[in-house]
Amino acid sequence: MQSAYRPIRVALLGAGSVGSQVARLLLENSEELASRVGTTLELSGIAVRNLDAKRDFDLPEGLLTEDAESLILGSDIVIELIGGIEPARSWIKLALESGADVVTANKALIAAHGPELFGLADQLGAQLYFEAAVAGAIPIIRPLRESLAGDKINRVMGIVNGTTNFILDRMESTGADFGDALELAQKLGYAEADPTADIEGFDAQSKASIIASLAFHSEVPVESVYREGITKITAQQITAARTAGYAVKLLAICERASNGEKEGIVIRVHPTLIPLSHPLAAVRGAYNAVFVEAESAGELMFYGAGAGGKETASAILGDLVSAAKRHLAGGPGLADSTHANLEILPVQSVVTRFQITLEVSDEAGVLASIASVFAENGVSVETVHQSPADKDAAAVLTVMTHVALESDLEKVVVALSKNMAVVNVKSVIRVEGL
């Protein structure tokens, strides 16, 4: 294609599963991309750690280099796909300082150092794009940042980690225990050899911090996001939830809240019961979905593949086209919006329903004694279900509360643990979406 503009030089940092797909799409679809942008996107090089490593896609000779810094300094747009904090952070800073726009999929970096990097981009009139950092192929950053910028978002609930959704779904559909479902996830390539970041909720915690910062126009440090993983969830718990009409999902929940004096936000990641009728309950396998509740737009749901080389590359290419168009148009980047800076409240400010499962001795007066613990702490009980005791074993009580303040529920749990009739508080799980 003939264009009045010179080609835009694009540097790729990393040639893993996403990087190879980005390179392939850039090379295979170069004419189509040129028509969308208004000039050619020229892949000027791909920085890798090891030139001889095996790749998913045969890259043209001469594109690979181990000298990332020279590549960055000669480029208009830098795509960072190496992940982790360093050297990604230094290379993104170098790219911005050299006048390049940057596209990244690095959620850990954006969650931990977003304000620093956005501040630098803003100061230099550059732009940092990160659509692929949350929920892979699903467009969610741009809708939160731009499409819904004129609305007031009250709540976002997301299944933003495909690995844990796959494991929970597998436990539900086959009755497998956590260990077996994790092993299968590893065999299929969903879970890493060290699965900690996924199963302990760290990956979802980073994504929740990014979503909340955009939804509420506030800085949300990743450490302020309450986090619980899924390792304590049992197959029995999932079956019981299903029988009662609920699915168990690892949700990232970002919402407005109040501590009685101040309005603020609470951001949390934890296993959650949601009614089977809720759209998020229908998200199976390794898929992701983000459910947004906005004042004027109402309820919106964004659904799709949350990971995968080709799928994540789609989000990267979308950002690349935006970056290239902006590069041609000139002018300053779109500054990050943190004007509201709402206070981040602790998880104890959450108001929700809870399901508490207890093992209790099966004797006269036990139910009354347990009910009084809830009443004394201002938590109203909606339903109680008792499974009869087998021989000498304890009976199992499942208590569903009405909406209650998390700090009151914590007092209930402490008091239950001290109650002579309670053998064990087996689990406490929050219930959303009713």
Maximum CA pair distance of the chain? 87
**Of 101, 131, 172, 203, which lies in the binding site for ligand HSE, with binding defined by CB under 6 A?**
203
- In sequence order, what are the residues at sequence separation of 6 or more whose Cβ sits closer than 8 angstroms to the Cβ of residue 238? 168, 171, 172, 248
Q: How far is the CB of 198 from ligand HSE (least distance, A)?
A: 5
Q: Which residue has the tokens 């406490």?
A: 428
- When asked if residue 306 is in the footprint of ligand HSE (CB under 6 A), the reply is yes
Q: How far is the CB of 314 from ligand HSE (least distance, A)?
A: 14
DSSP-H helix ranges across 84-176: 88-97, 107-124, 141-142, 162-174
Q: Which is nearer to ligand HSE, 14 or 306 (CB)?
A: 306
Q: Please, how many CA atoms are within 13 Å of residue 399, restricted to the half-sphere of its CB? A: 29
Q: Which is nearer to ligand HSE, 7 or 139 (CB)?
A: 139
* Contact string (CB under 6 A) for ligand HSE, positions 132-161, x = contact: -----------------------------x
Q: Which is nearer to ligand HSE, 111 or 281 (CB)?
A: 111
Residue 12, Ramachandran bin (φ over 0: left; ψ between -120 and 50: alpha; else beta): beta
- When asked if residue 433 is in the footprint of ligand HSE (CB under 6 A), the reply is no
Please identify which of the residues 93, 107, 207, 249 carries the catalytic annotation: 207
- When asked if residue 198 is in the footprint of ligand HSE (CB under 6 A), the reply is yes
Token pair in block for residue 2? 């003939």
Q: Which is nearer to ligand HSE, 201 or 306 (CB)?
A: 306
Q: Which residue's beta carbon is nearest to the bound ligand HSE?
A: 163
Concerning whether 207 is annotated as a catalytic residue, the answer is yes
Token pair in block for residue 27? 């090379």
CA distances in angstroms from 156 to 34, 213, 430, listed in the order given: 36, 11, 16
**Of 14, 45, 143, 162, which lies in the binding site for ligand HSE, with binding defined by CB under 6 A?**
162
Strands 404-405 and 246-258: what pairing?
A: unpaired
- When asked if residue 307 is in the footprint of ligand HSE (CB under 6 A), the reply is yes
- When asked if residue 96 is in the footprint of ligand HSE (CB under 6 A), the reply is no
DSSP annotation of 7:
P
Which residues are annotated as catalytic? Answer: 207
Residue numbers at the binding site for ligand HSE (CB under 6 A): 161-163, 198, 203, 306-307
